[in-house]
Amino acid sequence: MPRYVALIPAAGSGSRMKTETPKQYSMLAGKPLLQHAVHTLCRHRLIEQVFIVLSPGDQRYGECDWRDCAGKLVALYCGGETRAASVFNGLLAINNAVGAADWVLVHDAERPCLRAADIDRLIAEVGDNESGGLLAVPVADTLKRGNAAGEVLQTEAREHLWRAQTPQMFRYRLLIEALRRADVATVTDEAGAVEQAGVRPKLVTGSVTNFKVTWPEDLALAELILKDFAT
């Protein structure tokens, strides 16, 4: 039986957050931001191991309390210049720990509001589909294309448009080979690399609450969502 493992790229600098501390270590609802998703993935019954990709100079990870994740969590200090490079380096580093047909669920460290139910749905709906799949939500707003002056040029059709989230899950070999060949300068998620290889990953409807903390005001929103989950 193929196994499920998670890989969390957490080697970014969080430039859009404009804080001194990298955003993955900003405090959120009582713990460092990245611990929320790590805990959710470590607690999931189907996920056997969780690998976290850190930047080689990361000093903060070792200062966090990881006792809740004992036995499941492995830190890899091999982050790269881009998210795709960090994921690729992480996949290379776990080569001996996973099989070609094992499923790798890649999840952004900065999506703290991931829930077990989202993971369950992704795994169930992808099933044994060799093309893999990802959580995503249909675009709800009307989309405008603007120009450099901030004026509307035109309204874009939103039919069949989705916002890609994570986790994104692929078999180990498909993902590592797709990333090896992908143009890492343009690829912003795993599905993008797999698409460049001519594969059509499955879109699995996720939750709008599983958003990526990117801008300063996102921390307050994530905190509200986590409080709501806890009640």
Residue 9 touches ligand CTP, criterion: CB under 6 A: yes
Residues in the chain: 231
* Residue 196 · residue 183 · CB < 8 Å: yes
CB of 114 to ligand CTP, least distance (A): 12
Range in contact with ligand CTP (rule: CB under 6 A) among 67-75, 104-112, 140-148, 178-186 = 104-112
SS3 5: strand
Residue 32 touches ligand CTP, criterion: CB under 6 A: no
- Residue facing ligand CTP at closest CB distance: 12
SS3 35: helix
Residue 192 touches ligand CTP, criterion: CB under 6 A: no
Q: What is the dihedral of CA 51, 42, 119, 222, to 10 degrees?
A: -90
Residue 35 touches ligand CTP, criterion: CB under 6 A: no
**Out of 5, 6, 7, 11, the residue judged to bind ligand CTP by CB under 6 A:** 11
Range in contact with ligand CTP (rule: CB under 6 A) among 10-18, 40-48, 172-180, 201-209 = 10-18
Size of the site for ligand CTP (CB under 6 A): 21
| Token pair recorded at residue 32 | 């460092």
Q: Which residues within the stretch 40-69 sit at the binding site for ligand CTP (CB under 6 A)?
A: 53
**Maximum alpha-carbon separation in the chain:** 55
199: Cα within 13 Å, side-chain hemisphere: 23
Q: Which residues within the stretch 151-190 sit at the binding site for ligand CTP (CB under 6 A)?
A: none
Range in contact with ligand CTP (rule: CB under 6 A) among 42-50, 74-82, 197-205, 218-226 = 74-82
Residue 92 touches ligand CTP, criterion: CB under 6 A: no
Residue 32 CA to residue 61 CA, distance in Å, equals: 10
Q: What is the DSSP letter of 81?
A: S
CB of 189 to ligand CTP, least distance (A): 9
The residue ranges of DSSP E strands in the chain, in sequence order, are 4-9, 27-28, 31-32, 47-53, 73-76, 103-106, 133-138, 143-146, 152-156, 162-171, 202-205
Residue 13 touches ligand CTP, criterion: CB under 6 A: yes
**Out of 19, 56, 81, 95, the residue judged to bind ligand CTP by CB under 6 A:** 81
Residue 221 touches ligand CTP, criterion: CB under 6 A: no
